[in-house]
A and B are shown apart, each in its own frame.
Chain A
């Protein structure tokens, strides 16, 4: 158990719908990262939040958004869903060293499997 929790485990929805994925980081971790895993693209970074603020964006579609709340949990919102959005979505958390060097071990949650029909 990594200490990172994600809900729900599975999500089945229809095209055009909107869903929210939730992540709680490990106790004490200030950074939350979201990744998407699909068969053709592998594991891809979507977005990072650090202590409530957005730090970096990766290959995240405009239809997707995220936020990190004061209690440090994070939500990933996916809207106008398309068939191609079906994937595993992972959240990871990390204790960051703030300063000139960013980089540390990231611990992943169990993921949310999203199926868009």
Chain B
């Protein structure tokens, strides 16, 4: 199935550092969503983006909807140990009577205290 290109695949950082990850697509999306998944749990919605160029924050998390509508970025500032997990981007075309999500492969984040 179709997947978004998400990078990096994994990151190992020191507590307090900032983190950046991104997703790119060959097609245009109307909505970008960012999720975090802990082992054995379901994805938890972090941020939703609905407009090209939109910049949205949720605490230490900031995400942007790319101008071309083909990419999105997630930044985490001042990382803490509980940020550990897998982060997924997901896009919605939203134009064909379904809101099905297309997911990236995920970015695994590890934080060293």
Contact = CB atoms under 8 A, between A and B. Distances in A.
A43 B102 CA distance: 8
B43 A90 contact: yes
B87 interface: no
User: On chain B, which size bracket covers the interface?
Assistant: 20 to 34
Contact of B101 (A33, A41, A96, A100): A33
B100 A107 contact: no
Interface stretch (B15-23, B59-67, B77-85, B90-98): B90-98
Interface string B30-64: 11010100001111110010100000000000000
Contacts, number: 84
A48 B98 contact: yes
Nearest to B4: A42
A12 to B, nearest CB: 15
Nearest to B91: A103
A100 B99 CA distance: 12
Contacts of A6: 42
B96 A102 contact: yes
Nearest to B104: A42
B30 A42 contact: no
Interface in A34-67: 35, 41-45, 48, 55-56, 58-59
Contacts of A4: 42
Contacts of B7: none
Interface in A88-106: 90, 92, 94, 96, 100-106
B75 interface: no
Interface of A: 2, 4, 6, 31, 33, 35, 41-45, 48, 55-56, 58-59, 90, 92, 94, 96, 100-111, 113
